[in-house]
Amino acid sequence: GFLAEADDADATTPRAPVVAVMGHVDHGKTSLLDALRTTDVAAAEAGGITQHIGAYQVRLKDGQRVTFLDTPGHAAFSAMRARGANVTDIVILVVAADDGVMPQTVEAIQHAKAAGAPLIVAVNKIDKPDANPQKVVNELLQHEVIAESLGGDTQVIEVSAKARTNLDGLLDAILLQAEVMDLRANPDRSAEGVVIEAKLDKGRGPVGTVLVKRGTLRRGDIVVAGSAWGKVRALLDERNAQLEEAGPAMPVEILGLDEPPSPGEVFAVVDSEARARELTEYRHRVKREKTQAAGGAVSLADMMAKLQTKKVNELPVVIKADVQGSAEAIVGSLDKMGNDEVRARTVYSGAGGITESDVNLAKSAGAPILGFNVRASKQARDLAEREGVEIRYYSIIYDLLDDMKGVLSGMLAPLQRETFLGNAQVLQVFDITKVGKVAGCRVTEGVVRKGARVRIVRDDVVVLELGVLNTLKRFKDEVNEVPSGQECGMQFQGFQDIKEGDYIECFTVEEVKRTL
């Protein structure tokens, strides 16, 4: 995901870490985010007047920077992860020293683990007379979060958001963790990033808060964010100051989009308005088709389709069983089941009925839930239905394993083996009444064949999958095949934007079934 892109060969310049704050309700997430905001060297001068934009960056005395996602709670974090936008480098787990580890603390630990983000524990409310940080450390141990003081690798920092105690210590811990992670990005390229928040503002129109991940975003850039696009009219920071540009790990509000983009959506700068229109039109259509097809469901079938196209070879699963022993047995057998190509990955396993928290976790990991001798609560069932998370129930371990073996076998690549047939270049496009677009082409390589699959390649980029080639003509005659060097006519429905110079790639797809 996005984290991995930090390893790009061109990612040479150190960047600020992106930090999310999570924890149980009332443990002080909001207070801590507010307190940390004031550690910025310029915060005092600006009089502390800030507007909420979903993320902010603090600049420290030594010039180092830290970006905080100002969206406390797990919902925003999961929403972004569910869309595959893993923007968080480090998770600050806030635990109140007078209350200790609570259900949402455990949930936050699971979320961070599923995202592969290292944790730093902020033991908050240390000013309280009944604060007991040692108890917090011990409780965390039961959830495999092992403090440095106990020989583990998790930094535990005692703070008070209210008394503003040891905020420097927390910042130092973040910077240390960031240094270990060696976070880098390339500022000298066109900008890419993620939408953190968006709204429709009465005066200013659609406003999106974006976090730049790579490159530098500038005023006047043409930006595509999901199905929204526009020319960036203004860049604003959380003090409402106009910026000329924003580099990696910098959060900014942007004005100028044609509609509010969805949080978690990826944005990128493109080189022309025409390209932006082309992309957004295509995405609008995909969005419509997706909504019609599945309502955004996370079913095993969807997962498999996604895994095949993305060539990811892991099937994430959440396992709930009646007792810990059976959960462990299932996880153990699933671990052994796969091979180098495919395997199941247990994002979470536990004993007890299926809860709403399990469903949220499954949703954010894109995983189905496998229940062994357990059932989902009514609330969990309703949530799973709404979120489109699949729950499968089993009462025999062998059945569960057999079923998963079938699913994993179905994921073995390549299920669809593509064979290249040929390329044709578009020489001229005719718009014929009642018929639609007809492309006059010359076959430049191999053959083109009626009934084969086709896609459009423009400047070596696949811009559209067209489906099957239904009409292939040479002069007035319908033909089955046209070889290299000859000219032909091809007709397409549904794609209005075919252009001279485009290549039409012709290929066949063969279904190959395999089993583990």
24 is in an annotated binding site: yes
54 assigned ligand-binding residue: no
Q: Which of 126, 307 has the CB closer to ligand GDP?
A: 126
Nearer to ligand GDP, 26 or 390 (CB): 26
Tokens 């009944």: give the residue.
130
Is 419 annotated to bind ligand?
A: no
Per the listing, tokens 């995909």 go with: 286
Q: Is 111 annotated as a binding residue?
A: no
Q: Are 126 and 158 in contact (CB under 8 A)?
A: yes
Q: Which is nearer to ligand GDP, 162 or 458 (CB)?
A: 162
Count CB atoms within 10 A of the CB of residue 484.
14
The verdict on whether residue 138 carries a ligand-binding annotation is no
Give least dist CB 173 to ligand GDP, A.
Answer: 17
CB of 363 to ligand GDP, least distance (A): 22
Q: What are the two backbone dihedrals, phi and then psi, of residue 398, each rounded to the nearest 5 degrees?
A: -55, -40
Residue 61 is labelled as binding a ligand: no
**Closer to ligand GDP by Cβ: residue 128 or 437:** 128
Per-residue exposure over 388-415, b if at least 16 CB sit within 10 Å of its own CB, e if not = ebbbbbbeeeeebbeebbebbebbbeeb
- From the DSSP assignment, how many helices (H) and strands (E) are in the chain? 11, 30
Q: Does the annotation place 203 within a ligand binding site?
A: no
Decide whether 34 or 356 has the Cβ nearer to ligand GDP.
Answer: 34
| Peptide bond between residue 103 and the one before it cis (omega within 30 degrees of 0) | no
Question: Least separation, in Å, of the C-beta of 70 and ligand GDP?
Answer: 11
How would DSSP label each residue in 414-440? PSEEEEEEEEEEEEEEEEETTTEEEEE
Q: For residue 25, say whether it is annotated as part of any ligand binding site.
A: yes
User: Which is closer to ligand GDP, CB of 124 or CB of 186?
Assistant: 124
Checking 279-282 for CB contacts under 8 A at 24+ apart, the result is 279/224, 279/229, 280/224, 280/227, 280/228, 280/229, 281/497, 282/463, 282/464
The distance of closest approach from Cβ of residue 122 to ligand GDP in the complex, given in angstroms and rounded to an integer, is 10
Three-state SS at 35: helix
* Binding residues vs ligand GDP (CB under 6 A): 23, 25-31, 72, 124-125, 127-128, 160-162
How far apart are CB 28 and ligand GDP at their closest, in Å? 3
Closer of 27 and 83 to ligand GDP (Cβ): 27
426 annotated binding-site participant: no
Is 125 annotated in a binding site? The answer is yes
347 burial type by CB count under 10 A (0-12 exposed, 13-18 middle, 19+ buried)? buried
* CB closer to ligand GDP out of 26 and 497: 26
Indicate the residue among 167 and 498 with the shorter CB distance to ligand GDP. Answer: 167
- Report whether 126 belongs to an annotated binding site: yes
Shortest reach from residue 502's CB to ligand GDP, in Å: 53
C-beta of 35: minimal distance to ligand GDP in Å? Answer: 8
Classify the phi-psi angles of 454: left when phi > 0, otherwise alpha if psi is within -120 to 50, otherwise beta.
beta
Q: Are strands 90-96 and 119-124 parallel, antiparallel or unpaired?
A: parallel
DSSP H stretches of helix in 148-260: 167-181
Calculate the alpha carbon distances from 145 to 101, 120, 153, 327, 357 in Å: 11, 10, 8, 20, 19
Contact between 516 and 337 under an 8 Å Cβ cutoff? The reply is yes
Q: How far is the CB of 98 from ligand GDP (least distance, A)?
A: 8
Task: Give the helix/strand (H/E) hosting 374.
Answer: none
Cβ 253 to ligand GDP shortest distance, Å: 23
- Is 127 known to sit in a ligand binding site? yes
Binding site as annotated, residues for GTP = 23-30, 70-74, 124-127
Binding site as annotated, residues = 23-30, 70-74, 124-127
